[in-house]
Amino acid sequence: MPLKTINPTQTKAWKKLSSHFNDIKNCHLKQWFDEDKNRADRFTIKWEDFYFDYSKNRINSETVKLLKELTEEIDLKDAISKYFSGDTINQTENRAVLHTALRLPQNSELIIDGKNIVSEINIVKAKMESFTNDIINGNRKGYTGKSFTDIVNIGIGGSDLGPSMIVEALQFYKNHLNTHFVSNIDGDHVNEVIKNLNPETTLFIIVSKSFATQETLTNATTIRQWLLQNLPKAAVSKHFVAVSSNIEKVKAFGIDESNIFPMWNWVGGRFSLWSAVGLSISLSVGYSNFESLLEGAHKMDEHFKNNPFDKNIAMIMACLSIWYNNFFEFETEAVVPYSQYLNRFPAYLQQAIMESNGKNVDRNGESIDYQTGTIVWGEPGTNAQHAFFQLMHQGTKTVPTDFIGFAKSLYGNTEHQDKLMSNFFAQTEALMNGKTKKQSKPYKAFEGNRPTNTILIKKLTPESLGKLVALYEHKLFVQGIIWNIFSYDQFGVELGKELAGNILQELNNSKKEDHDSSTVRLINYYKSLD
């Protein structure tokens, strides 16, 4: 069944939210905290090892009630049931959206087109497990009989950002294998990666759902040529494996069928780290840690599916973001993890969120006259404090921010950890309170009232990381449903690819195209530098 197509701005709840917004837009958070000693308690959700405090947001109980009404009026419940049961909710590509199925327990059942897809998933997982074990313990060797020391993931977008973000985040749990990622078509990237590698001990994983992506195929071809400068052709089957849903194209590239890890068209690229796209994760931290990551995500799926609005972290986060995007009209939102391990988390979220919800046509095919897709950015704290926090505290823009922290450090250095966490707590307090004391110098005043969420997690583990990533997946799902858009296609990336293809032929002098005068001059200047 298709998703409902309700324009959110035409709902009663939206109209009530608009008038409520006018009532409270000038209220100061500090005053609310002063007046209500239970505010933090009322606006906190404790779930498993997560402590989610959203009390430092520009909301009161009425706001939460109206946001909940909005989710009821657009029938979020119906959308959630279609999402998890495999309805074709990616209607523009005629596909289901089932990354959540990849983390179902082994003995589950999910029947799609008469087949239990969990059995198919289990087969691929078993293949990943035995391959991972064979590489890690050295049973499977390279062409010259040496064990592998290095793994290179060749992919881009969802075939790179998810695995590379997780591998970096879980480096504490890593084994002896060195993991590298090649994504950019920039030839300097691939050359920098391969320059220190020994072809005899390196395994390459080509990851491309479509197996048609220019960057990935170009990098894979360059790497295969480099390998063949050092080893005979028969080495290719020992050193290359692929993850793809396009088996024929992979075989045409010269990879044995036994070296292909399949994926399905119901796994979107930016949600694919849970599939065989996560092979580099499994190789880096071992298969059981990869399973724990999936288990964490599954727990978050259950939390999201089963909890009422006011106990549901993803729903609250999604609606707060809509509150700021559509009512306050704040331009962007930031994600600041207080963990260097999560260095790539903001970049990962940029694809997940902005490729999903950057849409200007609604599910009726009509142009949209309200704001959708939020702009997401961020960097780890405390580094971010010494970079863009000035603007967050005193700039003319308000940037609602998620603060993500872990109570325990992995190496157990309490001195560093207490310093880190004191900054974590101080920043949200400062952003909220400001400094209202009369200042003789206006430059030293802080107006405060800057909203934040605090996500405090006990410890960074594969399981808690799985929960965190799934949380943001569900947040963006809820937002897409409310905005009445299709979150799971990405036609907006096609035009640039098409034009680049044409210009490439011009650079090779095999074609002449019409362009605007700026583009013509740029191309000519580039060619004149040959």
CB of 79 closer than 8 Å to CB of 4: yes
Minimum CB separation of residue 213 from ligand F6P in Å reads 3
Residue 156 amino acid letter: I
CB of 222 closer than 8 Å to CB of 241: no
Report the residue from 159, 339, 385, 398 that binds ligand F6P according to the rule CB under 6 A: 159
Report the residue from 210, 307, 340, 423 that binds ligand F6P according to the rule CB under 6 A: 210
CB count within 10 Å of CB 103 equals: 22
- Per the annotation, the verdict on 355 as an active-site residue is yes
CA proximity to 173, closest of 275, 298, 276, 282:
282
54 or 204: CB nearest ligand F6P: 204
Peptide bond before 11: cis, by omega within 30 degrees of 0? no
Q: Which two tokens stand for residue 394?
A: 């005193």
If residue 403 lies in a helix (H) or strand (E), which one and from where to where? strand 401-408
Interface with ligand F6P, residue 270, by CB under 6 A: yes
Residue 315 amino acid letter: M
DSSP string, 224-243: HHHHHHHS-GGGHHHHEEEE
200 or 215: CB nearest ligand F6P: 215
Minimum CB separation of residue 128 from ligand F6P in Å reads 17
Report the residue from 8, 86, 158, 337 that binds ligand F6P according to the rule CB under 6 A: 158
Report the residue from 183, 202, 208, 385 that binds ligand F6P according to the rule CB under 6 A: 208
- Per the annotation, the verdict on 386 as an active-site residue is yes
Q: Annotate each residue in 487-506 with x if it binds ligand F6P (CB under 6 A) or - if it does not, as one string.
A: ---x--x-------------
**Binding residues among 345-374 for ligand F6P as defined by CB under 6 A:** 355
The residue annotated as part of the active site, out of 233, 386, 435, 511, is: 386
Give CA 133 to chain center in angstroms: 27
215 or 463: CB nearest ligand F6P: 215
216 or 487: CB nearest ligand F6P: 216
Report the residue from 216, 275, 280, 312 that binds ligand F6P according to the rule CB under 6 A: 216
CB of 17 closer than 8 Å to CB of 66: yes
As a three-state string, the secondary structure of 408-468 is ECCCCCHHHHHHHHHHHHHHHHHHHHCECCCCCCHHHCECCCCCEEEEEEEECCHHHHHHH
CA proximity to 284, closest of 193, 153, 196, 101:
153
Interface with ligand F6P, residue 217, by CB under 6 A: no
Interface with ligand F6P, residue 265, by CB under 6 A: no
The residue annotated as part of the active site, out of 355, 379, 463, 473, is: 355
Write the DSSP symbol of residue 352. I
- Per the annotation, the verdict on 497 as an active-site residue is yes
96 or 320: CB nearest ligand F6P: 96
Report the residue from 269, 337, 378, 381 that binds ligand F6P according to the rule CB under 6 A: 269
How many residues bind ligand F6P, per CB under 6 A? Answer: 14
The residue annotated as part of the active site, out of 115, 233, 497, 511, is: 497
Name the one range near ligand F6P by CB under 6 A: 77-85, 144-152, 204-212, 335-343.
204-212
How far is Cα 156 from Cα 208, in angstroms, rounded to an integer? 8
Minimum CB separation of residue 222 from ligand F6P in Å reads 16
Report the residue from 152, 154, 156, 197 that binds ligand F6P according to the rule CB under 6 A: 156
Give CA 235 to chain center in angstroms: 35
CB of 300 closer than 8 Å to CB of 99: no
Residues labelled as active-site residues: 355, 386, 497
Name the site residues for ligand F6P (rule: CB under 6 A): 156-159, 208-210, 213, 216, 269-270, 355, 490, 493
